[in-house]
Structure 1
């Protein structure tokens, strides 16, 4: 086994080399793991001082990886400037049961981060080191950005390095979590387990304490189980090595008696997700997510097996990135010991697409209250969007009025009066940055005080019978506008009841005559005079059990064989005389059905079949129908339909012996010489032949020698004399 370390290179950079691990570093790695553990057991003061002295002498920062491609299992967040040992372990002990490779790579180019440490460790549970590596570095104050550079992996994070020194005056962070089987009312069945966690990024946690139901604090050494039925409260607190004590936190819960014996196995299901190609294969990797539920004793464990391997504990979505066909078996066991019958999902993983070299697509919109000149009153909000169909968007930035670009984390509001320009750009995870774009707008002061009430109107919609009654239900939609201060509230009252807040269309389904009053108030407090709409709701017609009627036509330019030249347009129609049409769907050449929104243009050459069907609002779907047709290429255009097809070029009565070649558009050399055309004189004909033969030579249709033979024949001819 070897470990890696950094040695100095010109320019302040570091290079990574390997050397055998020493006993001192192995001890330091174990000490670092103990110091970064989440659950802390109080140490005696002397032992704690010794550990702190050891840590000050040599920092050990540990990263671990497992089956996830989206996050490291554990990673440090802070460190102190100076020498440090970086440990990266991707092994079966850290949860990697799939043999997946990961890297720990420190970025040396990303703006805003330290670039003086060059670490790039590739680890696999089955490599010669068993997936565990160490590297020696010198850290400087600032922030380092690290990530896994394997394609499809999105693991990343930041390490903040501070200067050594300064006293710790900040108390630890402490939290509590209650776990256990719960009934539908949220009570814990049989028992509840309280887990307390504490962390301190400065001097470190010294002790954690808890108490149950105000019975007095005592040392916390691990999860606390409460099994007495009734309501309970657990308080907790933590103290760091500098003596700072956290505020007391608490969790409350209720424990109830256990339910009767469970003899039913859990329900278990699985889904496969990921980017898919046109063949349905998952590109680069596929993620299998297993779900299990048990309404009685509760799920105890979920297991899965990849291919023919043994079952292993399922702790989260399983990512498979080896190309080929795969089968994942899965099962679940409840706390009563009932195990479900194993189920399987089968899928195929394909090689990932080529490297992404295309920058993201970006766009921006400006929103806010506008005056009649299009200016934004008081403020304008700029919303930036970015998409990347390759490696995915990594970051979005914006710059206001020529200032430096800053990270975009949400809509940007500008409230300073005047004209403004916002630039924006995006970078994908492959490092491609889009060309900056801009939006320009003007912010103006608000208008004078508003004393005019809003404009308000209402409309009634729904299916109507021949008498104008609304069948089954009527929907009243109220609209309000205010060109000054803007609408604040809209209210309505049904059939003489009190006014209530209007938040969307109001549906009335009680048969009989109804009256809806409505009014609106603007932000200046002006309320409109109430208005009314009156309508009648009638009983709905009998249930619809008949599917819609459908038909389709094919249109486009056709050749003599009835084929459609270059493209064919399929137009689908559907009608439903009862509940009404809900949607129309179509399928081209056996593809999955898609929603039909307008005529379908098919321009791929060959024979095609378009299937179509429709569904009404009652859920009745018509039997699929189809139309079949052929799309053909257009016939080539012939520039010389009455072409001179003699074997050789003949000028006047003289046979030049030159091959009368087709020049590519249906015309021969004799067609281009056009000896039967009208010319002003013989010289004009000779000049015409000279121009034609020059063009034919340039196109490599004739040689210079053949041009000479044609020109001599033209000069000796009587054409144009």
Structure 2
């Protein structure tokens, strides 16, 4: 509980706030009007009043209090001599009414409680006010990612190493915390970029945020299929090579064919290199010149998974067969 005592003329006002979070708040008292009926002067008379905020949450940003819709406001007063006859209040400039029970002000926005006290001999305090903002709206939460996302039907695919970033915005009391959970695990507080679980398959990321008076957004869920498998690549010749002393030999007219298969998202590109040249895009079958060659190939899928290089060593025989007719004399 925080208590502040302010002496104004003949009246002494004591203000305090109590809530579940024990959040202390200074409330500025401003004499806005002078009630002309309070004309009787009494020496050594002390009138005190107390406003207590109970339940819910209160947050002060340095200039004004923000409260949740669960907060109720109670007004109490005492007089050292004749005693309190009545408490009067209004909200947001309405007509003054007799205070009989705690106030609930659940409509979102800026509000003002005006109040005055009357003792049993007719002394009436000046009108004082307390400004505050009721905040009933939870923060807005957004999810962003550096991932390449491929959608197939209703399923969204991402690659390994994909990072997710969560932001939240609250127009009133401000964001207190951002939370997330992966695959229905316990909520964690978001502090930096996160990655989904490393296991291949479908995963669910749930995100939410809480503002400074306890309003929490409904968890937003995002489903992603984590694809960690790179394409499978093969290098082959159009005609089966011949194994000669451990060397694979093909003819100069035989084409080299590279294929790649990706079971999840599909193949984005295939690259190949001949005899340690720079990798170049594979656009179709090709032939080799005569001699020994080393062919390397690799492929990348649509979410960025790149497979390991595979290698094929072949010898190309472009020498045409030679032949002649041999004559044999038979006796």
TM tier, shorter chain?
0.3 to 0.5
Tell me which of the two structures has the higher relative contact order, counting C-alpha pairs closer than 8 angstroms and 6 or more residues apart. Answer: 2
TM-score by length of 1: 0.18
Judging by fraction of residues, say which structure has more helix. Answer: 1
TM-score by length of 2: 0.36
